[in-house]
Amino acid sequence: MNGAPRDLYPAITGDIDTASTVEPIVPDSTEGRDIYRHSVSHIMAHAVKDLFPEVKVAIGPSIEDGFYYDFERETPFSSEDLEKIEKRMLEIIKKSSPFSRKIMDRKEAINFFREKGEEYKVELLNEITDDEVSFYEEDGFIDLCRGPHLPRTGRVKAFKLLSVAGAYWRGDEKRKMLQRIYGTAFATKEELKTYLEFLEEVKRRDHRKLGKELDLFSMNDEIGSGLILWHPNGATIRKTIEDFWRDEHVKADYDLLFTPHIARLDLWKTSGHLDYYTENMYSPMDIDGVDYELKPMNCPFHILIYKNDLKSYRDLPVRYAELGTVYRYERSGVLHGLLRVRGFTQDDAHIFCREDQIEDEIHKVLEFTIFVLETFGFKEYSIYLSTRPEKYVGTPESWDRATAALKMALEKKDLKYSEDPGGGAFYGPKIDIKIKDALNRYWQCSTIQVDFNNPERFDMTYRGSDGAEHRPIMIHRALMGSLERFFGVLLEHYGGAFPLWLAPMQAKVLTIADRHDEFAQEVCSSMRAAGLRVRTDLRNEKIGYKIREAALRKIPYLVIIGDKEVADRQITVRRKNGDNAGPYGVDEFIGMMRQEVSNKQ
């Protein structure tokens, strides 16, 4: 009503007149889904308190695709407990009790929850500045909530509790570890069924699971959380990605760099990271009485390389690119396989140009980004223009100029975008590109940022056509972002079945009997000489067993060698989808594979 959400129960009275605007919030709208799922979260808390009265309740918001509620309980919730909670929730829903909104004096509310021993609600209430607060009650269960809720519990048609995880209260590692029960809810059983099938597919494609099955990477507590060990198969894929990246950057007139992993702390004072990024940095280390810092960014190093000699306006633009490993502090609770780590490699680049060159350089970066993403199989993406955050360096005027340059480049390329107010980096606005994977999920990878501030902070200059000193403009950009994160997204996108050019083993030669070994090794040698990644399986095992084992490794091509193949000096080929092809001449098959690799298929 009048732009603000309102409950349908109790009926709206008194404050509605002929000038009021009233519109329904339907279940399949964003607001409708949030209200629906938050109401289910409230019902779950009711069920938990009924079954486990000793539990203390914390918070239970709706989230993307579901909801959760945090509880303090000494005994961990089990899968059997979740089944009991679901059963009790169904009973609450069946009663179809109304959600009633109540207003209470804040101090009275504090006393109410203190008497119930609900310390988390008391803490929340102590932070509220309003004199009055709202509550929702259904069938005797009362919870602190801004609302609104569904009219009745009986409006819930389909839900499922999914999992339990640990969660620090308020996300603070120094606070109590609570238990978080996750769930999801939809307006129809058909939607719920579709979503649960989607979750099963997500599990099958989980990069951590596939990383272990395909022997790509691992993490080890002896090394530390958030640090990745690349196994030979994973390292082979990573090398292929890096070789492609370097080759394309040389073609695009970038100069490749390598920079150290640490630097004096003063460097990060100059760059502004120590003031604006310190929560993501590690504690300094004392070396010969001087404080050094693990690098969280590569940009200051590139700036100092630029400043190593004098630059003229004719030298610009200067384009530096580096696969630079950086280290950022992430809380242990948010670390997640390759997607959230503490040490990762950025496909970093910095362009130093004149102000009249900004638009053209951003055009080139956008084209380069789209080319790289599409080469890896990401054909759909969303673009966001992120503007000035609350904490920033520089002047509002320089931010406005930088934002206008990004906006102009997007509009001239006729690229649709959405604005993300306040989402820029502390030193400049940016374009973020989110790629859509095979499961229709979006991932943040690519970014383009215009920076008027670091050139000022580092006193960067170039000699203009007028003979005077001028400041260059700095463009930060990453096409894939973190290689670790991009690898994880790529792994889930393909479900581990990489296209031929990326596959760690592109073909495997399988023999039916020992008498076929000599020809198999000859075929393998020819393929390796052609630059293909291939191995033999000469074990004394049944061919069906060998094929099944190789299929689990998701190898693109299996070359079968038996009596007929040896006699004809040809090969039978089995594709990863199970189809048999051939017979092929060895050179014919090698030529076909090389063409496929060359086309990045």
pLDDT at 506: 97
pLDDT at 14: 60
Task: Categorize the per-residue pLDDT at 492 as very low, low, confident or very high, splitting at 50, 70 and 90.
Answer: very high
d(CA 466, CA 331): 51
pLDDT at 10 over 70: no
Task: Categorize the per-residue pLDDT at 9 as very low, low, confident or very high, splitting at 50, 70 and 90.
Answer: low
d(CA 479, CA 457): 26
pLDDT at 78: 95
pTM for this structure? 0.87
pLDDT at 13 over 80: no
Give the count of beta carbons closer than 10 Å to the beta carbon of residue 339: 18
pLDDT at 115: 93
d(CA 151, CA 36): 10
E strands along 119-231, which residues? 132-138, 141-144, 158-168, 177-186, 217-218, 229-230
Are 56 and 49 in contact by the 8 Å Cβ rule? The answer is no
Question: Average pLDDT in the 443-462 region?
Answer: 92
pLDDT at 424 over 70: yes
Joined tokens for residue 239: 């090398």
Give the sheet arrangement for strand 262-264, strand by strand.
262-264, 290-294, 285-287
Torsion (CA) 247, 252, 253, 259 in degrees, nearest 10: -50
SS3 525: helix
Question: Which of 29-38, 122-131, 173-182, 421-430 shows the lowest mean pLDDT across its residues?
Answer: 421-430
- pLDDT tens for 330-352 read 988 788 999 999 999 999 999 99
- pLDDT tens for 298-339 read 999 999 999 999 999 999 999 999 999 999 999 887 889 999
Task: Categorize the per-residue pLDDT at 570 as very low, low, confident or very high, splitting at 50, 70 and 90.
Answer: very high
Kindly list the distances between the CA atom of residue 372 and the CA atoms of 247, 379, 478, 484, 515, in Å, as whole numbers in the listed order. 12, 10, 11, 16, 46
Are 77 and 179 in contact by the 8 Å Cβ rule? The answer is yes
Kindly list the distances between the CA atom of residue 452 and the CA atoms of 4, 354, 400, 403, in Å, as whole numbers in the listed order. 40, 11, 11, 11
Task: Say if domain 30-204 classifies as CATH 3.30.980.10.
Answer: yes
**Which residues sit opposite 179 in a β-bridge?**
71, 166
**Which residues sit opposite 102 in a β-bridge?**
135
What angle do the packed helices 119-127 and 106-115 form, to 10 degrees?
160
What DSSP designation does 298 have? S
Domains 217-494 and 507-598 alike in fold:
no
* Residue 231 designated active-site: no
Burial of 159: CB neighbours in 10 Å, binned 0-12, 13-18, 19+:
buried
Q: Is the peptide bond before 284 cis (omega within 30 degrees of 0)?
A: no
Q: Which of 319, 328, 516, 533 is catalytic?
A: 328
d(CA 446, CA 347): 10
Joined tokens for residue 281: 């940095």
E strands along 88-128, which residues? 100-105
Residue whose entry in the numeric block shows the structure tokens 């500045």? 129
Are 496 and 553 in contact by the 8 Å Cβ rule? The answer is no
CATH superfamily of 507-598: Anticodon-binding domain (3.40.50.800)
Question: Average pLDDT in the 370-385 region?
Answer: 94
pLDDT at 580: 84
Question: Which of 355-364, 517-526, 589-598 shows the lowest mean pLDDT across its residues?
Answer: 355-364
Where do the H-state alpha helices sit in 252-327? 265-271, 273-276, 299-306
Q: Which of 205, 238, 430, 508 is catalytic?
A: 430
* Residue 445 designated active-site: no
Q: Which amino acid is at 132?
A: E
Closest by Cα among 430, 446, 438 to 483: 446
- pLDDT tens for 170-181 read 888 889 999 999
Are 533 and 233 in contact by the 8 Å Cβ rule? The answer is no
d(CA 193, CA 570): 49
Q: Pick one of 3.90.1150.10, 3.30.930.10, 2.40.50.140, 3.30.200.20 as the CATH number of 217-494.
A: 3.30.930.10
Please give the share of the chain, as a percent, with pLDDT higher than 90: 79
User: Domains of the chain: which residue ranges?
Assistant: 30-204, 217-494, 507-598
Task: Categorize the per-residue pLDDT at 401 as very low, low, confident or very high, splitting at 50, 70 and 90.
Answer: confident
Task: Categorize the per-residue pLDDT at 413 as very low, low, confident or very high, splitting at 50, 70 and 90.
Answer: confident
Task: Categorize the per-residue pLDDT at 472 as very low, low, confident or very high, splitting at 50, 70 and 90.
Answer: very high
* Residue 493 designated active-site: no
pLDDT at 2: 84
Q: Which of 346, 357, 506, 570 is catalytic?
A: 346
pLDDT at 120 over 90: yes
Question: Which of 106-115, 277-286, 395-404 shows the lowest mean pLDDT across its residues?
Answer: 395-404
* Residue 101 designated active-site: no
d(CA 308, CA 595): 44
* Residue 299 designated active-site: yes
Q: Which of 34, 347, 348, 537 is catalytic?
A: 348
d(CA 513, CA 230): 35
Residue whose entry in the numeric block shows the structure tokens 């099944």? 548
pLDDT at 577: 83
Are 264 and 288 in contact by the 8 Å Cβ rule? The answer is no
Chain Cα centroid distance, residue 84: 34
Task: Categorize the per-residue pLDDT at 396 as very low, low, confident or very high, splitting at 50, 70 and 90.
Answer: confident
Mean pLDDT rounded to a whole number for the chain: 93
d(CA 410, CA 358): 12
Are 45 and 57 in contact by the 8 Å Cβ rule? The answer is yes
d(CA 40, CA 31): 14
pLDDT at 118: 94
* Residue 430 designated active-site: yes
Q: Which of 121, 207, 350, 477 is catalytic?
A: 350
- pLDDT tens for 495-519 read 999 999 999 999 999 999 999 999 9
Q: Which of 207, 311, 476, 554 is catalytic?
A: 476
SS3 369: helix
* Residue 246 designated active-site: no
